[in-house]
Structure 1
Amino acid sequence: MSLVISHLARRFGATPVLRGIDLEVRQGELVALLGPSGSGKTTLLRIIAGLDWPDAGGLSFDGADWLAKSAAERRIGFVFQHYALFPHMSVRDNIAFGLTVLPRAQRPGKAQIAATVDGLLRFLQIDGLADRYPAELSGGQRQRVALGRAMATGPRVLLLDEPFGALDAQVRRDLRRWLRGVHDSAGTTTIFVTHDQEEAFELADRVVVMNGGVIEQIGRPDEIYDHPATPFVARFLGLTVELPVTMRAGRAQAAGLDLTALPRRALPDGPATLFLRPADIEVLPDTAAPFRVTEAASTGALLRIVAESGTGCRIEAELPRRDARGLSVGQPVGLRIVAGQIFPGGGASAAAPAEPSRTLKEALS
């Protein structure tokens, strides 16, 4: 049983929010919709849930047209960022709510509802909270209750909209690991929305990167991290250093840089742009090199430096502080690029960033 989205489009007034989305989510898969605010993630989730309708395109589950079905008929479980628990109901009653409002013909008996709720309380490890009210719970506990309520009706698809966005960092990390275990045990098809790259990569089987109402890339987390398909994905995933290079017979070349570690690429000869992370640059003392360290700042574990050449090329790099002994401002250094992604065509020059840059000390303060 697969959820199939085809050519889905949605406009709000004159603004296109979704522009031809094609996606298939397989049974039992956990998929993350990752992207910045305004990329269309939540709108897509709401259409799957039956809370919004597209202007064009198709949506089916197990061959059935879901656009012809109401939200209730689709049997969707939805978990909101801010829990949406009923404050006047106990944890037990919140989880049971979806079962108690089913049509009479589908509604289980009271004993069966109680047994289902008890099972979920144990499964979600909140059985000691059954008689408490939402105001008496922590944020992490409320999110577990919200998940239990969504799971109680046996949904075909579980949808989570920024499920950990309202929680602090440590609780988010703990709940991510817990949710992955819950998903694997229950085997539910799950789609969740996030703008947090770490969250998407830790939880998901596949990641769908969205931007401006289109899908930029779909793939396993490691595939996307190592091989971003577009400049947008590269920038969004932290490849913030952009260097103009020239392609010759599949090899990238740039004055003063050692690019020999990069594999040969099937790109046409001519100008291209190399995207890389600051940690992908080895900084080596070299009296004959054209770069000099102009700034250096420590974060404790890392040393972040800026190196500039006589031609005005400015490159930021970071390396483990303990590996950087001997590097100091004014020292000539060679730069060896150990990884990166190359796209054809010229881009912003490293010597002329699109926005005025702060010094490293300002950025770290």
Structure 2
Amino acid sequence: MSISITQMTRRFGQTEVLRGVDLTVGKGELVALLGPSGSGKTTLLRIISGLDWPDSGQLRVAGEDWLSKRAEQRRTGFVFQHYALFPHMKVRDNIAFGLTVLPREQRPSAAQIRTKVEELLQFLQIPQLADRYPSELSGGQRQRVALGRALAIDPEVLLLDEPFGALDAQVRRDLRRWLREVHEATGTTTIFVTHDQEEAFELADRVVVMGAGQIEQIGRPEEIYDNPATPFTASFLGLTVEIRVTLQAGRAVAPGIDASALALRDLPDGPATLFLRPSDIAPVADPEGAFIVTESLSTGALHRLRLEGPGNCIIEAELPRRAGAPGLAAGTKVRLRPETGQIFPGAARLTSRAA
């Protein structure tokens, strides 16, 4: 089912949690809402599900006004971060729960419910867990059961709120691949919330970057990663080094910066900010360089340099450790050659920083 959200607002007291959100999700699409805590992601998800209501705006699914429907009328499947399984029910009963509480005229027969549960147990690759209780399952297994319960009602829309947030890194990676396979097999229109950039980029057809209650950028994962449209998106996606520059005929100019590798920008001359990832900076030893290495550390896979330059600019650069950092010990003067980056008009903060 296609979803259309228009000028959605939500306020809690004096705090604007959603500020005029417009979003369209295509039928069968998997979309990630990506952003930091407090950006409005979960509030938007709850409004779609019927667990919360906006102060203004429209929500239409397949052309129908969903704000006129109660939560139980919307036929959404909702998967929470902490599973929310019923501890006193076995796995098969947890999966069947949504079907057993449907209105009588919509409720399948007991035999049909058993058949549906068996199909889902096989589909989710957990038939051996059918008669266990949630306390007897691992985190990854519980999340599969939670997804099975959401899918049992054949939802028009599947909503997932930080579905892998409580799991360790390896299990998260395994379940991400599995969830993508489940989505492709079911074709259900799906929206999931995450603050994990890697998770959003690996899973989603499109990524919606949210910040402070509004949408900063929408696009395919590679589009957003390579071309962040706003300073907020750039910083959130790892371009955490900010350097004051001056734009002259589309070229960034600053003491100690060799910006010749950067593409010319169609921006007006004047003050601007160059956003870089630490791994996009190539420090080159230069006795006349305007930056100085103040710290040189190895983190295993990476060689990390701390650099100080004009205007109280403090940054970090990262180089592959096996490539080495010849001649870049503490005290070395260097010039910086950014390999790629984003430029936005306006001044940077006083101190640039890397994550």
TM band (smaller chain): over 0.9
1:72 is aligned to 2:72: yes
Query: Aligned residue for 1:283?
Result: 283
* 1:242 aligned residue: 242
Q: Tell me, yes or no, if the aligned pair for 2:255 and 2:310 is still in contact at 8 Å.
A: no
Q: Secondary structure at the match of 1:275?
A: strand
Aligned amino acid, residue 252 of structure 2:
A
Equivalent position of 1:348 in the other structure? 349
Distance in 2 (alpha carbons) for counterparts of 1:242 and 1:323:
25
Give the Å deviation of 1:203. 0.9
Q: For 1:39 and 1:310, how far apart are their aligned partners in 2?
A: 34
Is contact 2:7-2:21 (8 Å) kept?
yes
Instruction: Summarize the alignment of residues 19-58 of structure 1 with structure 2, pairs less than 5 Å apart.
Output: 19-58=19-58
One-letter code aligned to 1:206: R
Aligned-residue offset at 1:284: 2.2
Tell me how far 1:287 sits from its aligned partner.
3.5
Identity %: 70
Distance 2:310 2:225 in 1: 33
CA displacement, residues 199-229 of structure 1 (integer Å, 9 cap, x when unaligned): 1111111111111111111111111111111
Q: Which residue of 1 aligns with 2:6?
A: 6
Q: Distance in 2 between matches of 1:24 and 1:98?
A: 27
AA matched with 2:344? F
2:185 is paired with a residue whose SS is helix
Seen in structure 2, the aligned counterparts of structure 1 residues 13 and 288 have a Cα distance that, compared at 3 Å, is: closer
Aligned mates of 1:308, 1:216 — CA distance in 2: 31
Provide closer, same or farther for how the CA distance between residues 88 and 312 of structure 1 changes in structure 2, counting only shifts above 3 A. Answer: closer
CA distance in structure 2 between the partners assigned to 1:337 and 1:23 by the alignment: 35
* SS in structure 2 at match of 1:258: coil
* Aligned residue type for 2:70: S
CA distance in 1, matches of 2:177, 2:248: 46
- Residue ranges of structure 1 left out of the alignment (5+ in a row): none
- 1:50-199 matched pairs, under 5 angstroms: 50-199=50-199
Amino acid at match of 1:343: F
Cα pair 2:243 2:348 within 8 Å, conserved: yes
The offset of 1:10, in angstroms, is 0.9
CA distance in 2, matches of 1:283, 1:153: 57
- Structure 1 pair 229–310 and aligned structure 2 pair: CA distance change class (3 A): closer
Unpaired runs of at least 5, structure 2: none
Deviations 1:179-213 (A, max 9, x none): 11111111111101111111111111111111111
What is the TM-score when the length of structure 1 is the normalising length? Answer: 0.93
- Secondary structure, aligned partner of 1:266: coil
The CA distance in 2 between the partners of 1:269 and 1:332, in whole Å, is 29
| Separation in structure 1 between the aligned mates of residue 314 and residue 82 of structure 2, nearest angstrom | 43
| 1:339 corresponds to | 340
> Residue type matched to 1:235 in 2?
S
Cα distance in 2, alignment partners of residues 20 and 313 from structure 1: 36
What is the distance in 2 between the residues matched to 1:109 and 1:314? 67
The equivalences for 1:273-312 within 5 A come to 273-309=273-309
What displacement does 1:155 show?
0.1
d(CA) in 2 for partners of 1:223, 1:311: 32
Moved more, 286-295 or 110-119: 286-295
What is the CA-CA distance between 1:293 and the residue it aligns to?
1.8
**Cα deviations by residue, 1:211-264 (Å, 9 ceiling, x for unpaired):** 111111111111111111111111111111100111111111112211011111
Describe the SS at the equivalent of 1:45.
helix
Alpha-carbon contact 2:197-2:237 (below 8 Å) kept: yes
Task: State the AA in 2 paired with 1:117.
Answer: V
Q: How many correspondences in the alignment?
A: 354
What SS does structure 2 have at the residue aligned with 1:24? strand
The 2-side partners of 1:325 and 1:296 are apart by: 9
Distance change (3 Å), C-alpha of 1:105 and 1:309: closer
Quote the Cα distance in structure 2 between the aligned partners of 1:126 and 1:65: 37
Distance 1:309 1:41 in 2: 38
- After superposing on structure 2, the runs of 4+ consecutive aligned residues of structure 1 that deviate more than 6 Å are none
